[in-house]
Amino acid sequence: MKTLCDCALSVLETENAKEKAQKTREYAALWRSSPLPVGFTDQTPLRPARPEKPELKHASQMPKRRKAGTRASKIALLHAIAHIELNAIDLAWDIMARFSYLSDEHTHKNKTEITLPRDFFADWLKVADDEAKHFLMLESRLNDFDATYGDLPAHDGLWEASERTAEDFAARLAIVPMVLEARGLDVTPAMIKGMKTQNDQKTADMLQIIHDDEITHVRAGTVWFEYWCNHHNKDIEMHWQELVKTYFNGKLKRPFNHPSREEAGMIRDWYEPLADIDFNISES
Ligand SMILES: [Fe+2]
Ligand SMILES: [Fe+2]
């Protein structure tokens, strides 16, 4: 691996989920020991390679939630989160590779475009490494219950936001970390509580680690989004809201986890006005 983009393409082209996570951890360690150049690629795949299993299904065809407290319901929950983490690994590598043309190590043609310093790539590599850690943790927890990632069908819609924002750097930040990952902050505390009620401290602890790491991912999103807005002289609040209305397919659902969002730099005035509005983008 000569550049960070080589690492990104190698992970994105890896089918096996565990291998994808392990390579990510390896490359992150490599960067920490001897920082690679960012490099450049225009070969980022629109969709990353994925294992044959799980079978990917449309949200409406996913099995109904099982009764809480059963082994089956716990496996379903761990499996669903593992699937999100696997997508998150690819999403983090995708932003590094797809927007590598903005790197300040790359010669720019468009002088008005923003340039991204190495810190940007370092932040996203840390995100990728965290997501890989989360995936491997959940996979080992699934193994404790004689299950493995791939046993159940999984939701096919998670990559949609990535494809929709492939051409727009600011929109990618506005949607992926600042809407989707921020949503993770809202829902995880109830899951942690549920696991504690079931006396499953081990899973509760894992979810707490995930929640705390995710705050730093949302923060990376807000920091670089602000950086972009400052460069282009855009009002952060107005521009974020505009991008959500244009690119987000769904609803910003209450209840929000205001304290965790605030820690991540998400200002209440940005998202409150958009709560519970259905941004259903009809595909043309
Ligand atoms: Fe994660
Ligand atoms: Fe994340």
Per-residue confidence at 284, pLDDT binned at 50, 70, 90? very low
Query: What's the gap in Å between 255 CA and the centre of ligand 2?
Result: 20
Is the N-terminal amide bond of 255 cis, ω within 30° of 0?
A: yes
Query: What is d(CA 31, CA 79) in angstroms, rounded to the nearest whole number?
Result: 30
Decide: 224 and 152 in contact? Cβ < 8 Å: no
Closest CA to 204 of 63, 77, 21: 77
* pLDDT number for residue 58: 86
Query: What's the gap in Å between 214 CA and the centre of ligand 2?
Result: 5
Query: What's the gap in Å between 212 CA and the centre of ligand 1?
Result: 10
pTM of the model: 0.96
What value does the mean pLDDT of the chain take? 94
Query: Which comes out higher in pLDDT, residue 80 or 283?
Result: 80
Closest CA to 13 of 80, 82, 97, 83: 97
Q: What is the pLDDT of residues 98-111, one digit of tens each?
A: 999 999 998 876 77
* pLDDT number for residue 99: 97
* pLDDT number for residue 66: 74
Rounded to an integer, the average pLDDT of 201-226 is 98
Query: What is d(CA 88, CA 101) in angstroms, rounded to the nearest whole number?
Result: 21
Per-residue confidence at 282, pLDDT binned at 50, 70, 90? low
Question: pLDDT at residue 176 above 80?
Answer: yes
* pLDDT number for residue 157: 83
The helix or strand, by DSSP H or E, that contains position 56, with its residue range, turns out to be strand 56-57
User: For the chain, which residues make up each domain, given as ranges?
Assistant: 1-41+68-155, 160-284
Query: What's the gap in Å between 234 CA and the centre of ligand 1?
Result: 30
What residues pack around ion ligand 1 (CB closer than 5 A)? Answer: 85, 88, 131, 134
* pLDDT number for residue 61: 84
Rounded to an integer, the average pLDDT of 120-138 is 98
Query: What's the gap in Å between 264 CA and the centre of ligand 2?
Result: 12
Angle at 158 between CA 153 and CA 159, to 5 degrees: 115
